[in-house]
Amino acid sequence: MPTHDVIIGLLIALPVAFIAGRYSNRIAFFHAQTEEKLTVPEFLKSRQ
């Protein structure tokens, strides 16, 4: 893969990954506020 392809890929992938991470954190934070807060063992039990 030529070097410029790697650079272009990083320029596209890094902002997309950053935005996706910010967006998913906001969703997770919103869910934590609206739902009752569970401890880790309770959360694992509720997933089963």
**38 and 46 Cβ atoms separated by less than 8 Å:** yes
Residue 35 scores a pLDDT above 60: no
Mean pLDDT (the chain) is 77
What does the H/E/C string look like for 6-45? HHHHHHHHHHHHHHHHHHHHHHHHHHHHHCCCCCHHHHHH
**How confident is the model over 20-34, as pLDDT tens digits?**
888 777 767 666 665
Q: Please, which pLDDT band fits residue 12 given cuts at 50, 70 and 90?
A: very high
Where exactly are the structural domains of the chain? 3-47
Q: How far apart are alpha carbons 14 and 37 in whole angstroms?
A: 32
pTM strictly above 0.85: no
